[in-house]
Amino acid sequence: MAEFLQFCVSGLTVGAVYALVALGFTIIYNASDVVNFAQGEFVMIGGMATVFLTAAGVPLPLAALIAIAAAMVVGLALHRLAIEPARGASPVTLIIITIGASIFLRGLAQVVFDRQFHSLPSFSGDTPIQFGGAAILPQSFWVLAGAGIIVLALWAFFNRTLLGKAVLATAANRLAARLVGINTSFVVGFSFVVSAAIGAIAGILVTPITLTSYDIGTLLALKGFAAAMLGGMGNPLGAIVGGLAVGLLEAFGAGYLSSTYKDAIAFIVILGVLFVMPGGLFGRASVERV
């Protein structure tokens, strides 16, 4: 039982990060049909910028805010300089542009930051909390709470604000949205900025647990993409469920079956689900409703 709880905690913590990356995919995908493979780089920028700012003497909360702002600027630049000029191109072309952007950002990070691994001090200490035989790091609660707050805030934003509804309208039908007076280019750019901010927050929250370096984005983008596909591309709830599911699958796979094939186990389950439900767990139906 203690082992089961430990695997759950481990899976949920890692899964929350995948969920936040998947959420970033979802927001941009909804607004523009683009799968943004530079999403993992936002996570990296959040973590690395915070590390270097705190090392330079900036207090942690301020450093985190500056790092999030920096990621948002990069997100906006990505849209304005790379995606917007190619508007009208097919989604595949745009996706390839984002892959190029992610390689570029990784290269840039090597120059601006460095090639070493870095860590941040935990926000509220390193003493694990014992719960039913499982040891939970306080930072895990920060990650889970952060993910929960972001999801709630996004839900409120999309359902309670005019701008949020404009994003949903653009996602549903860009031409119609433009006809009713929504500036769709602004909305798409805005979705990049929001995604970048979410990625950066995720990066800051997990750095004390997972460490960070210039190239952590690649793997996170891959796992986050898998999570988004599992949950149903374009569905925010699906992104969260998909992310947590991938995290739990990895933890249980490593714990109960074989640590060597842990990634394979997760991906086999994902393939199995997609085989039966091609749209993902929350796919088709919700997309139509939006």
Partner 1 sequence: MTNLKTCLGGAALLAGAAMFAGTATAADTIKIGASLAVTGPASFLGDPEAKTLELYVDKINKDGGVNGKQLELIVYDDGGNANNARTFATRLVEDDGIVAMVGGSTTGATMAMVPVFEDAGIPFISLAGAVVIIDPVKEFTFKTPHTDRMACEKIFTDMKARGIAKIGMISGTGGFGKSMRGQCLDVVGSYGIEVVADETYGPKDSDMTPQLTNIKSAEGLQAVINPGFGQGPAIVTRNYRQLGIEVPLYQSHGVASKSFIDLAGDAAEGVRLPASALLVAEKLPDSDPQKAVVLGYKTAYEEATGQPVSTFGGHAYDGLMILVEAMKRAGSEDPAAIRDEIEKTSGFMGTAGVVNMSADDHLGLDLSAFRMLEIKDGDWALVE
Task: State the minimum distance, in angstroms, from the CB of residue 110 to partner 1.
Answer: 10
Instruction: List residues binding partner 1 (CB under 8 A).
Output: 3, 6-7, 9-11, 13-14, 17, 115-119, 121, 126, 128, 135, 137, 206, 209-211, 213, 216, 219, 250-252, 254-255, 259-260, 262-263
Nearest residue (CB) to partner 1, 89 versus 112 = 112
Q: Scanning the structure block, which residue is given the tokens 């599992």?
A: 230
Task: State the minimum distance, in angstroms, from the CB of residue 11 to partner 1.
Answer: 8
Q: Which helix (H) or strand (E) holds 239?
A: helix 236-252
Helical segments of 78-183, H only: 91-112, 138-160, 162-172, 174-179
Rounded to 5°, the CA angle 265-271-272 comes to 90
Nearest residue (CB) to partner 1, 17 versus 169 = 17
Cβ atoms 81, 91 nearer than 8 A: no
Nearest residue (CB) to partner 1, 105 versus 266 = 266
Task: State the minimum distance, in angstroms, from the CB of residue 195 to partner 1.
Answer: 21
Tokens of 240: 């969260």
Cβ atoms 200, 43 nearer than 8 A: yes
Distances (CA, A) of 265 to 22, 93, 114, 240, 261: 19, 31, 34, 20, 6
Nearest residue (CB) to partner 1, 3 versus 285 = 3
Task: State the minimum distance, in angstroms, from the CB of residue 67 to partner 1.
Answer: 19
Task: State the minimum distance, in angstroms, from the CB of residue 94 to partner 1.
Answer: 26
Nearest residue (CB) to partner 1, 90 versus 119 = 119
